[in-house]
């Protein structure tokens, strides 16, 4: 095991964007069926376009975040403790602009 906290923090890490991509069979909706992969791709593209993907903001596809809906996927931004449901790929630019600023100028803000 290798502890890497200092490395991550020295790169200016500011946030995690967690995107549910859970795929499951059952009676309840799952994010995989509600564009989870496309939402994750849209998040990555928006962050890459602003030069903050992976160095400042890490994106993780997650299992269930507990906000299941057939209308869109679940997204959480940490450590800001912001939670969203029903996110569609077209919603990503507005969601991330609200969280980080249109050009990601507020990516280091903690609230």
Q: Is residue 111 part of a domain?
A: no
Beta strands at 82-87 and 57-62: parallel, antiparallel or unpaired: unpaired
User: In angstroms, what CA-CA distances link 20 with 5, 6, 79, 93, 110?
Assistant: 24, 27, 17, 17, 22
Segment holding 82, helix H or strand E = strand 82-87
Q: Is residue 15 part of a domain?
A: yes
Percentage of the chain beyond pLDDT 70 is 98
- On average, the pLDDT of the chain sits at 90
62-81 average pLDDT score: 92
Burial environment of residue 29 by CB neighbours within 10 A (0 to 12, 13 to 18, 19 or more): middle
Please report, for the domain that includes residue 39, its CATH number.
Answer: 3.40.30.10
Position 110 scores a pLDDT of 60
Contact 43, 62 (CB under 8 A): no
Q: Is residue 106 part of a domain?
A: no
Contact 50, 103 (CB under 8 A): yes
Residue 39: give the domain boundaries: 5-100
Q: Is residue 107 part of a domain?
A: no
Position 100 scores a pLDDT of 94
Q: Is residue 108 part of a domain?
A: no
Statement: residue 111 has pLDDT above 60? no
Position 20 scores a pLDDT of 94
81-108 average pLDDT score: 94
46-71 average pLDDT score: 90
Chain centroid to Cα 1, Å, comes to: 26
Kindly report the pTM of this predicted structure: 0.89
Q: Is residue 105 part of a domain?
A: no
Domain count, the chain: 1
């Amino acid at each position: 095991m290798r502890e890497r906290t200092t490395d991550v923090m020295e790169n200016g890490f500011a946030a995690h964007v967690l995107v549910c991509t859970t795929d499951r069979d059952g009676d309840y909706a799952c994010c995989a069926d509600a564009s989870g992969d496309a939402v994750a791709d849209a998040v990555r593209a928006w962050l890459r376009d602003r030069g903050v993907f992976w160095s400042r903001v890490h994106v993780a596809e997650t299992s269930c975040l507990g906000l299941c809906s057939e209308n869109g996927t679940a997204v959480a931004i940490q450590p800001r403790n912001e939670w969203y449901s029903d996110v569609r790929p077209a919603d990503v630019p507005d969601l991330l602009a609200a969280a980080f600023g249109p050009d990601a100028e507020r990516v280091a803000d903690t609230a």
